[in-house]
Structure 1
């Protein structure tokens, strides 16, 4: 695994000691996700940005290669998301391997969302080993992998796509973790859906020792878009799981339906005060036309122009103020840009349940049973 180049703005040895004190039992090298991101990828205001390209299956949008998206955008996506299902106790990863060449060529961090549609209890160490072997076919070619295993588990259990209890999910997660943690190029990426009273997040938390990256899927759909949509989607989750556990935060998938709000939402994603979200390292856009039109690159020329301005010509450069150089933070880099990985202790808060009328869960749009 890549070593995590972290240091206090004063001395590296002090930072290392502090990190070991505030995160007991969690290896420092598990915070190395920031080093995985490509140095030549799209970075806007310190946020490495990428896409989940449409697979063309039962959707209005055709299948897009990342090479096609990059060419049209005029920049290289930093992340590449895609879906696959574990539908039996034999997993060959064909859905992912169909994209192997495009992923390798892209140079992006690969973010496979591997969905167990068999019961959690059947995700044994044998199944986990099969998953690890599939992902190894990417990593041997130099690809960094952030595995979104069982993403949106809190929703998919409620709707019946996933089967099992929260405890069984955690056991399945730990089985996967045990297999992939042997490969230094694979990180475990915990990515629930927006929590509600019927779909709580907390029961599915495996614990910081088993998680390298945290994120939450949120699709705002209010019209007009609220100027506080970003904080409504992410702030409580960020404080509870990223800040409190000193784990990088990345948005695994998001989008906004409709041309009137696409650019406004994208702007919020890449124009936050990064000193408030120092662990926020990456975001991925759902580049699909599926029930709603989420396209920001392959859509209209007007939206594409706005996307290019926001992603390629953002004048903001992350949290680079002198005030951010406090001794409560650790500094590292993403693609050559300074970012702060916060180490201050924060009391855990309960993730705010977003109104079903305000946020559209990505459950509607994930590809199932290809």
Structure 2
């Protein structure tokens, strides 16, 4: 079963900014895998030295000392950060966008425009970089070129979280299920970024492990090959849901500044498309590897928050989240579904029990989803009744642009 976050099918960015905008820890072992030695802490400013002698902030440097950054992924072709801020009543701390890699001239233009919107709103940028031509394109030269561009954005006052080749443990992207090649590519990119872009953080973001290894995907690792052998973490000769869906792709702590995962409510059971109220506790269960519900027993999935946030002492991002609502499908009503999900995402207990959780981004799109073969409305600010309830539910521990509460 494939569980994946929605992603923009196109990025037609708009430069125009509307008026009235509000505006017991562990580190990595010698093989880069989790071990039991602790190191470092979340810090907003503390510099460290790179091999070239250039100071850069420590890992986790963009994490707030208190609270959780609230961000958004908007439909850049039909929305702006200014318009979203007006609907929400405050500007988001983080704006999520996507680009191919290496970038075409048009993609460079779109990204420049997104950065300008983020700068004007006082937001940081979560940039998802997608090497659709494959990991061979992640050369030292191409990595340095991107890092130089990001350094320019940093000089303009825009901090960047670089979510590089996300969902690498899935089976639907060209860079997926190639653990050794992926780790090498991530490290090349991280080396370039850490040496060049002082306000850019490297984010490692696999897909949620329920359904692993996502059999039948176009890019599923062939059995018997080196990639499949690397994925066979229990050594039984086959890649199954009993294998660790995250560890083969871990680049090592010194290369990672943040860890992230998208957490969606797609419905109760596959195939998706029915309007169903989320099960109690589902959001935390997916983050913590404790889900055992309508979709099946997924207790073999590791506790992502504990293993890669708490034990690695790295800030954790919920890179995208939302609840599925199909306007034409009948079933549970929109308010019941979406409010049940935001009540879980914004629960006061999350801030207390998961102190390494430092970012949550809402997926604010209404778009066609192939998994559903129909239009899904993921938004919470475009319908006045829904927006009113969502804004009223926003807790004080969230942080917005400029550190505002």
1:216 match: secondary structure? strand
* Per-residue deviation, residues 86-106 of structure 1 (Å, max 9, x unmatched): 157999633311312101111
* Per-residue deviation, residues 50-80 of structure 1 (Å, max 9, x unmatched): 1011133xxxxxx211111001111111111
Tell me, in whole angstroms, the C-alpha distance in 2 between the residues paired with 1:308 and 1:208.
36
Indicate conservation of the 8 Å contact 2:339/2:389, yes or no. yes
Tell me, in whole angstroms, the C-alpha distance in 2 between the residues paired with 1:25 and 1:270.
25
Correspondence for 1:364: none
Structure number with the bigger relative contact order (C-alpha 8 A, sep ≥ 6) is: 1
Q: Does 1:47 align with 2:68?
A: yes
TM-score between the two structures when normalised by the length of structure 2 = 0.64
Correspondence for 2:110: 95
Correspondence for 2:323: 256
Tell me, in whole angstroms, the C-alpha distance in 2 between the residues paired with 1:218 and 1:162.
21
Correspondence for 2:60: 31
Cα 1:31–1:160 shift into 2, 3 Å: closer
Indicate conservation of the 8 Å contact 2:263/2:283, yes or no. no
Give 1:1-370 correspondences, 5 Å limit: 22-23=38-39, 29-35=58-64, 46-56=67-77, 63-86=78-101, 93-155=108-170, 158-162=171-175, 165-182=178-195, 183-195=197-209, 196-199=211-214, 200-220=245-265, 221-222=267-268, 223-235=276-288, 236-258=303-325, 259=334, 260-273=336-349, 274-291=351-368, 292-297=376-381, 299-311=382-394, 314=395, 317=397, 335=403
> Aligned-residue CA RMSD in angstroms?
2.6
Give the CA deviation at 1:232.
1.7
Tell me, in whole angstroms, the C-alpha distance in 1 between the residues paired with 2:165 and 2:99.
10
* Per-residue deviation, residues 199-238 of structure 1 (Å, max 9, x unmatched): 5222111111111111111211232211111222111110
Indicate conservation of the 8 Å contact 1:117/1:161, yes or no. yes
1:127 match: secondary structure? helix
Aligned length: 282
* Per-residue deviation, residues 253-301 of structure 1 (Å, max 9, x unmatched): 111112232222122112141221011111001111122101111x211
Correspondence for 1:17: none
Cα 1:289–1:25 shift into 2, 3 Å: closer
Indicate conservation of the 8 Å contact 2:70/2:361, yes or no. yes
Give the CA deviation at 1:130.
1.6
Give the CA deviation at 1:164.
6.7
2:380 match: secondary structure? coil
1:283 match: secondary structure? strand
Mark the runs of 5 or more structure 1 residues left unpaired by the alignment. Answer: 1-20, 38-42, 57-62, 319-333, 338-370
Indicate conservation of the 8 Å contact 2:175/2:182, yes or no. no
Mark the runs of 5 or more structure 2 residues left unpaired by the alignment. Answer: 1-36, 43-47, 49-56, 215-244, 269-275, 289-302, 326-333, 369-375
Indicate conservation of the 8 Å contact 2:99/2:107, yes or no. no
Deviates more, 1:77-86 or 1:127-136: 127-136
Tell me, in whole angstroms, the C-alpha distance in 2 between the residues paired with 1:162 and 1:29.
28
Tell me, in whole angstroms, the C-alpha distance in 2 between the residues paired with 1:92 and 1:214.
25
1:138 match: secondary structure? helix
Cα 1:90–1:102 shift into 2, 3 Å: closer
2:353 match: secondary structure? coil
